[in-house]
Structure formats: C-alpha cells, structure tokens
Amino acid sequence: MRAENLDRFLSATGRGLHASAIRRMGTVADRRADVISFAAGYPATELFPLEELRAIAADVLHGDGLAIQYGPTRGHAPLLEALAEEMVKRSVAAEPPDLLVTTGSQQGLDLVARVLVDPGDTVLVELPTFTGGISAFANAQARLAGVRVGAQGLDLDDLEGVTASLRRDGIRPKLLYVVPNFQNPTGRLLSQPGRRGLIEWADRHDCLIVEDDPYGALYFEGEVAPDAVTPIKAGDASGRVIYLSSFSKTLAPGFRVGWMAADARLIERFEIAKQAADLASGTLDQRLVCEAMRRGVLDRLAPRLRAQYRSRRDAMTAALRARLDGRLTWIEPHGGFFLWATLPPGEDDTALLERALDERLLFVTGSAFFVDGSGHDTIRLAFSAVSEALIDEGVARLAQALDRRPVGSEASDG
Amino acid sequence: MRAENLDRFLSATGRGLHASAIRRMGTVADRRADVISFAAGYPATELFPLEELRAIAADVLHGDGLAIQYGPTRGHAPLLEALAEEMVKRSVAAEPPDLLVTTGSQQGLDLVARVLVDPGDTVLVELPTFTGGISAFANAQARLAGVRVGAQGLDLDDLEGVTASLRRDGIRPKLLYVVPNFQNPTGRLLSQPGRRGLIEWADRHDCLIVEDDPYGALYFEGEVAPDAVTPIKAGDASGRVIYLSSFSKTLAPGFRVGWMAADARLIERFEIAKQAADLASGTLDQRLVCEAMRRGVLDRLAPRLRAQYRSRRDAMTAALRARLDGRLTWIEPHGGFFLWATLPPGEDDTALLERALDERLLFVTGSAFFVDGSGHDTIRLAFSAVSEALIDEGVARLAQALDRRPVGSEASDG
C-alpha cells in the first residue's frame, strides 16, 4: 500500500514522536524463542484470578446488554463510587467529581500532557523516570528537566537546585512528574517527609505535581509499613496534586482501566479531552474491574501478589549475590516490580544488552529512563514476570554477558 | 477537593477544549426518567449477541491468562490478520503493516489529528459532519473549513470552490475528513463517481483524505447495492486515504475496538503516538472481537442488523409522514442510524430542543454538526436505539413540541 513518501504531511508532533524503548524490547522478546525477559514490567500472568474473572464475565454479560453499550466518558458510575472508597483507603478524600476513569494510567499521563502542557513548557521528571511519562510529555513538546533520585527517592535538595537554576534562566516549571512508590525504574520509595517537602515546594513555586502510583499496593510486608506508601495526594491541601493509578499491576493490564484523582475543575477538562481521545474507556472492562473490587477479589489477591513478588525479588537478589557480587551494585527494592543495577566501571548498557541478546536475555538499558542522556552505566531488571527458576537462569546469562566483554574495552569505554 | 482555581495551568489545548454536544445530550438522557432519546447514535442494545459473547468470554478467559496481559500496541496479531481479510471483503488490499487497532475509531481520529495536524493547519470537513471529528481536529487547533453535503453526499463542486477560495488566500488544506456511508448526521451516501472524484481531487491538490466508515455494513438491502458502500480507499492508488472503521455499530461499542488502514509509514507514526496515548487497546476486548469474527458471529448478525435498522427507519419515516408531513422535510436514509430533518421556516433547533425536553424527547440540534455556525434549521434524529413503538411516540412528542411554538416567533426568528 506504500505508494510514495507522505512524511511531508506530518505535524511537528508527528515528526518528533518518541517511541518507547520498553515497547521495542517487548517486540524483540515476542520474536525470539527461549528468551528470558527482565525487560517489560509485566505482572505475573499466572497470578491473574482467571476463574473469578470468568465467573464475573458470565454474570456481567447476562441481562440487558448495557455491559457492552456506550458508557459515560467520566466512567461507569458504580466504578467511580468504588474508586472514591479506594481513595479513602489510600487516605485521600475524593468524591466522584474529583475522579476520572482512564484507559490505563498511560492515558492519564497523556491527558495531563495535553490539557496542561504547551510546547516549550518545562516539566520536571526524575532522573531516571518511567519512559511512558517521558513519551507523553515529549509528545506535547515539553522541555524536560531532570531531578536526581537518591536513596530516599526524589532528591529534594537537587529539586531546589534545579528549580533555582531554571528560575535564573527565567523558567518556571509547570509541573513535576513523580513515581513515589517503588519507582519505575529504580524501585525507590520516596520518604513521607520527602512527600511533605514536595507539597511545600509546589506551593512555594506554584507548580503542579503529577503523582503516578501503579505500585503502591505492592509493598513487601514486613519490610515496609503500609503507611509508607500513603500518597503525596493525601497531604495536598491546595489541590495541586494530580494522582494517577491503575489496575494493571494489581488485577490485570489487559483491561486498560486506570483512574485520575484531582481538582474537580481540572477533572472536567481532562474529561472533555478524553471525549475526543476515545469517547470512554471500555464498558465491559470497567464492569469487570468494578465487580472484582466489590466481590473482594482484589483485596484477597493483594497479599498473595505482595508475597509472590517479594519471593521473586528474593530470587533475583540471591542470584545476583551468588553470581555477580562485587561486579553489579544495586539497592534492594521493598515493593513493586523492578531492580535497578549499576554496571561495573567502563561497562555500557547498550553494549551489554547486545551481548545479553546473544545469551537470550533481555532487560532495559538504564539510559532509556534518563532525559539528560546519562545512565549508560545502569540497567533495569524486572523480576515481576519471571519464575524463580528462570530468574536464576537469567542472572546466569547476565553474568555470561558481562564476562564476554571484549578485552581492553574498559579503557576505551571508561 | 477544590481549593483554588487552577485554570492558569491550562495549555492552549486545555483552554480551547471542544466538548461534544452529543455526549452532553447523553448525560441529560441518563438523568431523566421516561425520556425518549433520538439523540445519541447508539446501536440497539437488544441486538447485541450476548449469549455468543458470553460463550466466547468463557473460552477466552480460559488458559494461560494472556487474554488479560499487556498486548502489542499495533494490536492482537490474529485480529490484525482478521482485519486484513475484512479489508479485502471491502475491496481494499491491506496487510497487517497497513493496519492499526485503535481504542474505538474516535482514537483513530485523535491519532490522525495529532500526527498530521499542526495548529493553524486547515482541515476540510463536511457541512454538516460528525461532532467527534470536529472535536479531534479542533483540539489539535486546526482551522476547520466546511464543504456542503448534497443529495449525493459531499458536493464536489463546492469542494472545488472551497479549495480554490482557500488557495487564493494562500491556504492549502492538509486533509479532508469525510464519512461517505450513511453519513453522520445526514444519512447520505456518497456516490461511487463522487468517491473517484475525491481521489482525483486529493491527487491534484496534494491532500490526504480521512475516510470514516462506521456504518458501511449497515446498508438497507434492496435499497442500496452492496458495492455502493465500497470505500473511497478501494480506489486509492497513491496511499492518500486514511481509512477508519469500528466494531461499535456492528458488534458492540463497549469493547472500544476500531481500526485504521493506511500507508504503512503513516501507520508506524500512528502506532508510536498510540504508545503514549494508551499503550494498547484492551487485550480482552480485542480477543472477544476477534473470536466473534472467526466464529461467524458478525457475519450472521449483519443481515439481522440491516433488517432491524431498516424497520426502525421505516417506523420513523411512517410516523413523520403521519404526524409531520408538510412541516418537517427529510431525505430517507438507506442505511445507518440517522435521519436528518429540516425544520419549518422560522423554527430554531435550540429553541425546539428546549420545548422537546419538556415533552421528554431528546434529539441533537443540527447546528452542533456545522463548523460554520449554520444549521439552526436542522435536527438529527437517531432511530437506531429506539423500539418501533417508542419511535412513533417520540415523533408524536416532536409534533407536540413543534405545535407549542410561541405565537409570533416565526416572524422574529425567521
């Protein structure tokens, strides 16, 4: 069907589109047999509550057919009510007017970018940060400035420094994008004092905060107190925090059901933007998720997910200690899906990935998560979707890939 | 949660967002009991093949859980194969590289707008046209210029005139948005010579055509030959036509599964834009739709839909003839969901809608579909989602609303 090159018709957005490195990795993984993938942050398929969902689907598809008719853009009303209750559990007072169902939380990011970001606006993101956030803001032609992530999550001192530096250039950042709980990609948890500090910073500099929280429910019991994951939004007196979350990691991602909680006036704007983006999120999907909440499926599942992902984290750290101690360094994550590792001096993430592919191992290069071009000495290893036995084998392949570094490359790369 | 007015944070897009008149009507309908709605173009809920879908859902939710895992942005591979076959049935040669699954065809419109339209670009649309198209292009800050719709669909003479007039002002339109089959809102069918004329026009003026085809399968047998709905895309030798379609009118809209067929290079750009918009369309939804295609559910359903919607069209035209002959004028649609009516001289669509609401009747004001501020003497009546008995009652209410026009308003309105 390709007759001639039509690139002359592309908009500035169309020309500058930012493809996801993670999605590319997924495509590679699909094509190769016998690959172990630490790349995509997929939830464990074998933990999906398929039987319960099958029963729910049979019930929901009975009756009047409204389960597959068009639904309101704002979301299925009983789901909005259930989300309001869920937000209360998360210490956030939100009523349905403050809520919008989104087609995954990726759509929440996209709506934020479109409704709030003009080309050239400055958006602060973590160094490193989630590539889906980078793409959404970059596609809105934002200028992205990075703030370092430390042991306690986003580094408030660096945030003040970056803000001051921008101010000296006459630039006021419009919003800060942050993943406080078991951050993608580092696995770090932003401390509660740090969260209060962010609110104080946003009030002082008149900025908005976009809080992306897909992993909060997946804290590892005994390592982290449940209230350590209390959202930034819980302390938001001025309405500056736009909170995003999702069922993709706690139920299943194929439903594409996420939500936003924010100032009701902003929610109205996001809703109108969503009308033209996809009219509404899937009606059946929303009803399935809503019933899974009401029937306690999610509440029963959560402790099992926490335990299973902790076991996988344990398997990965045990394998790393056994096979790569002293060569890789990492900070143990206490929740979520990801382990963030720093490579030996002189090693390069992209060169290592090429050798890892030869060993039939996938991960995501750390540099993909940095908006400042750095991070080539880091990699992200997702332990969420790989069995414990294969985690060990994957780490063995990683060790082999590291071993295969060409002689003399340290000097030239370093 | 509303602390202060945050409007100062809105982007130009956020400030200028264009809400859908149809979606607003839907919200009104939800809130009032005993309303008959000719407003939203919903498919008939009672025609959904619920039992077959329930069986498919039970099968699809068996097994490995991949039915609710993340899927590729491009779409579920077997669905892409099935869509390629479907396009062949529609006389269009399209392989999977030319196809993208979208979250309803509304997302197709949105991706087109974002990837192709820069602020200030001129987009040609029909007078009148689908409001979701208006919203998508307006949100991309397009300049919208209208081309009249005549008895044979889009008026090619007017198209040449509008193009020439724009050229004189130094403006080259970037694309033309057209709904050739049983157009929303007029129900008109663009003639096959007209379709060839559009391709010729696009080649001559170096423009793209966005062909939106949700209703093509819903031609009324015996009134229209099946090949009358052959897409514009079938004659597209130069790759200028971006074809959009959907399962929303032929299976069910709650799945939010649509697709695009276009030049493979453009499809790549749309796919990358979709990554950041919602990562992928619903995995379960795509598998349900795919199985419904494979098991012949759609093929068995289509003749029934055509017959039923024709019966409803018949019910509406019979009621109009019986109750409003000589007062309303309309052209009988030969497919799709909509009847387009012209009001008596001096009547105004918005004023009539207010009186109709008092009679518990909803429709969409014609002016909502015009980008040039005209159309106040027209209304759109959707017959698709209302039973034959209620169609008659709805038309009776319309007659009452027309009767209740204040004395003397004709002179002042006219």
- Helix crossing, B104-116 with B131-139: angle to 10°? 30
Contact A84, A259 (CB under 8 A): no
Is the predicted pLDDT of residue B367 greater than 60, yes or no?
yes
Q: Measured in whole angstroms, how far is the alpha carbon of residue A176 from the centre of its chain?
A: 15
**CA-CA distance, B231 to B94, in Å (whole number)?**
13
ipTM for the assembly? 0.95
Q: What is the mean pLDDT of residues B182-203?
A: 97
DSSP bridge pairs for A147: A126
Parallel, antiparallel, or unpaired for β B99-102 and B258-261? Answer: antiparallel
The answer to whether the beta carbons of residues A127 and A148 sit under 8 Å apart is yes
Q: In CATH terms, is domain A68-295 a member of 3.40.640.10? A: yes
Report the C-alpha gap between A213 and A398 in whole angstroms. Answer: 30
Q: Lay out the sheet containing B329-330: strands in order across.
A: B329-330, B338-342, B378-382, B364-365
- Give the chain A residue nearest B49 (alpha carbons): A65
* Residue A94: count of CB within 10 angstroms of its CB: 24
Residue B142's identity, in one-letter code, is: A
Model confidence pLDDT, tens digit, residues A332-362: 999 999 999 999 999 999 999 999 999 999 9
CB spacing of A239 vs B272 below 8 angstroms: no
Contact: A95, B68; criterion CB under 8 Å: no
Q: Which tokens hold the place of B201?
A: 């026009």
In the block, residue with structure tokens 């897409």: B231
> Sheet harboring A241-246: ordered strands across?
A99-102, A258-261, A241-246, A208-212, A175-178, A122-127, A143-150, A153-154
Class of domain A7-48+300-404: alpha beta
How many C-alpha atoms does B270 have within 13 Å on its Cβ side? 31
User: In the prediction, which pLDDT does B412 show?
Assistant: 45
Residue A272 has its nearest CB partner, among B19, B73, B275, at B19
Tell me how close the Cα of A124 comes to any Cα of chain B, in angstroms.
15
CA–CA min distance B326, chain A (Å): 35
Residue spans of the domains in chain B: they are 7-48+300-403, 69-297
Closest in A53, A73, A115 to B61, CB measured: A53
Residue B123's pLDDT is 98
Q: Does domain B7-48+300-403 have CATH number 1.10.150.20?
A: no
Q: CA A343 to CA A362: how far, in whole Å?
A: 15
Asked if the Cβ–Cβ distance from A279 to B104 is below 8 Å, we say yes
User: How many C-alpha atoms does B81 have within 13 Å on its Cβ side?
Assistant: 7
How far the first Cα of chain B sits from its last, in Å, is 47
Q: How far is CA A190 from CA A185, A223, A249, A331, A367, in A?
A: 13, 15, 19, 14, 21
Q: Which two tokens stand for residue B70?
A: 């993340």
A-B CB pairs within 8 A amount to 304
pLDDT tens digits for range B23-72: 666 566 656 779 999 998 999 999 999 999 999 999 999 988 999 999 99
- The values of phi and psi at residue B379, to 5°, are -140, 155
Residue B262 CA to residue B260 CA, distance in Å, equals 6
Angle, in degrees to the nearest 10, between helices A388-403 and A297-324: 30
Average pLDDT, integer, range B6-28: 79
- The confidence score (pLDDT) of residue A1 equals 44
Helix (H), strand (E) at residue B199: helix B192-205
For residue B143, the cross-strand partners are B122
Task: Report the predicted TM-score, pTM, of the whole model to 2 decimal places.
Answer: 0.95
Token pair listed for A275:
């009308």
Classify burial at B311, counting beta carbons within 10 Å of its beta carbon; exposed 0-12, middle 13-18, buried 19 or more: middle
Q: DSSP 3-state assignment of B92?
A: coil
Nearest to residue B213, comparing CAs of B304, B108, B300? B108
- Rounded to whole angstroms, how far apart are CA atoms A277 and A111? 9
Instruction: For B296-352, write each residue's pLDDT tens digit.
Output: 999 999 999 999 999 999 999 999 999 999 999 998 999 999 999 999 999 999 999
Rounded to whole angstroms, the Cα distance separating A38 from A394 reads 8
Distance CA B77, CA B83 (A): 10
Cβ atoms of A313 and A381 closer than 8 Å: no
Give residue A60's pLDDT: 96
Phi/psi of residue B149, nearest 5 degrees: -105, 130
Q: Chain A partners of B18 at a C-beta cutoff of 8 Å?
A: 272, 276
With an 8 Å Cβ cutoff, are A14 and B252 in contact?
no
Burial (CB < 10 A; 0-12, 13-18, 19+), residue B164, is: exposed
Round to whole Å and give the CA distance between A144 and A320: 34
Q: Are A252 and B68 within 8 A, CB to CB?
A: yes
Burial class from Cβ neighbours inside 10 Å (0-12, 13-18, 19+) for residue A77 reads middle
Cα-Cα-Cα-Cα dihedral sign, residues B332, B336, B342, B347: positive
Measure the CA angle with vertex B126, ends B93 and B243; round to 5°.
15
In this prediction, residue B2 carries a pLDDT of: 46
| Distance to chain B for A330, nearest Cα, Å | 27
Q: Which chain A residue has its CA at the smallest distance from B14's CA?
A: A115
CA–CA gap between residue B249 and residue A351 (Å, rounded): 50
Dist. CA A177–CA A209, nearest whole Å: 6
Contacts of B354 (CB under 8 A, 6+ apart): none
Please tell me the predicted confidence (pLDDT) of residue A30: 58
Q: Report the candidate in A262, A54, A155, A333 with the shortest Cα–Cα distance to residue B65.
A: A54
Binned average pLDDT, 10 residues per bin, chain A of 414 residues: 77 85 62 86 96 97 94 98 98 97 98 97 98 96 97 96 97 97 98 97 97 98 95 96 97 97 96 97 98 97 98 98 96 97 96 96 97 97 97 98 79 42
At residue B251, the 3 state secondary structure works out as: coil
CA distances from B73 to A280, B180, B190 (A): 18, 28, 33
- Three-state SS for chain A is CCCCCCHHHCCHHHHCCCCCHHHHHHHHHHHCCCCEECCCCCCCHHHCCHHHHHHHHHHHCCCCCHHHCCCCCCCCHHHHHHHHHHHHHCCCCCCHHHEEEECHHHHHHHHHHHHHCCCCCEEEEEECCCHHHHHHHHHCCCEEEEEEEECCEECHHHHHHHHHHHHHCCCCCCEEEECCCCCCCCCCCCCHHHHHHHHHHHHHHCCEEEEECCCHHHECCCCCCHHHHCCHHHHCCCCCEEEEEECCCCCCHHHCCEEEECCHHHHHHHHHHHHHHHCCCCHHHHHHHHHHHHCCHHHHHHHHHHHHHHHHHHHHHHHHHHHHECCEEECCCCECCEEEEECCCCCCHHHHHHHHHHCCEECEEHHHHCCCCCCCCEEEEECCCCCHHHHHHHHHHHHHHHHCCCCCHHHHHC
Pairwise CB contact (< 8 Å): B285 & A284:
yes
> What are the angstrom distances between the C-alpha of B67 and each of B70, B190, B355?
8, 39, 49
Stretch B163-172: mean pLDDT: 97
Given 3.40.30.10, 3.10.180.10, 3.40.640.10, 3.40.50.10470, which CATH number is that of B69-297? Answer: 3.40.640.10
Predicted local confidence at residue B379, as pLDDT: 98
Determine the distance in angstroms separating the CA of A38 from the nearest CA of chain B, rounded to an integer. Answer: 15
* Cβ–Cβ gap A284/B281 under 8 Å: no
| Closest Cα in chain A, distance from residue B287 (Å) | 10
- Give the closest-approach CA distance of A49 to chain B in angstroms: 9
Q: Which of B118, B276, B354 is nearest to A18 (CA)?
A: B276
Q: Are B243 and B92 in contact (CB under 8 A)?
A: yes
**Are the CB atoms for B212 and B244 separated by under 8 Å?**
yes
Token couple for A287: 């009803």
A6 near B263, Cβ under 8 Å? Answer: yes
Closest CA to A258 of A354, A132, A169: A132
**Tell me, what's the pLDDT at B409?**
59
Mutate to test the interface with A, among B2, B4, B9 (most CBs of A within 10 A): B9
- The answer to whether B7-48+300-403 and B69-297 have equal CATH topology is no
Separation of alpha carbons B212 and B109, rounded Å: 8
**SS3 state at B191:** coil
On the question of pLDDT at B92 being above 50, the answer is: yes
Residue A18 — φ and ψ, nearest 5°?
A: -110, 110
Q: What is chain A's length? A: 414
Neighbours of A234 (CB within 10 A): 19
Tokens of A298: 């999610």
Task: Find residue A131's DSSP bridge partners.
Answer: none
